[in-house]
Amino acid sequence: MSEEVTQEVYLDVWRTSARFDSARGSALSWLMTIAHRAAVDRVRSSEASRRRDDAHAAANQPVEFDQTAEAASSSLEAQRVRKALLTLTEAQRSAVELAYLGGYTHTEVASLLGLPLGTAKTRIRDGLIRLRDTLGVPA
């Protein structure tokens, strides 16, 4: 860092040499004043950068993960969904379970249930709307 500051100082002296006034002091004191200011600026800049990095790192620390609480929450949520599935008609429940729990496409659901594709899609959509309303999820 000191080498960079020294290089900047000499460049600054070269550029601003016309402003040197021997009536105000010696060339050495002028040079040292420029060097001191440049060094202080560099240290302040470095400190500010370090503080910004530290603040950013502190703000972006990963939150501790509580596996037990997460497992309990997932279990409670699964119970809510199972209860909500019971509110569907048998036709809706079978279509939704095949599509979302079984992983079948709408075409495969229609084939498995022996329905036209449009009917299968309607049952899935209607079932999802009823689930959303039952679970209290905003539209």
Write the pLDDT tens digit of every residue in 11-70.
999 999 998 989 999 999 999 999 999 999 999 999 999 999 999 988 888 767 677 878
Q: Label each residue of the chain as H, E or C.
A: CHHHHHHHHHHHHHHCHHHCCCCCCCHHHHHHHHHHHHHHHHHHHHHHHHHHHHHHHHHCCCCCCCHHHHHHHHHHHHHHHHHHHCCCCHHHHHHHHHHHHCCCCHHHHHHHHCCCHHHHHHHHHHHHHHHHHHHCCCC
CA distances from 48 to 5, 33, 34, 56, 89 (A): 17, 22, 21, 12, 64
Kindly state the tokens that stand for 128: 């999802």
- pLDDT given at position 136: 86
Q: Which domains does the chain have, with CATH numbers?
A: 2-59 (1.10.1740.10), 76-135 (1.10.10.10)
What pLDDT score does 89 carry? Answer: 94
Is pTM beyond 0.75? Reply is no
Is it the case that residue 113 has pLDDT exceeding 90? Answer: yes
Q: For residue 34, what pLDDT is reported?
A: 94
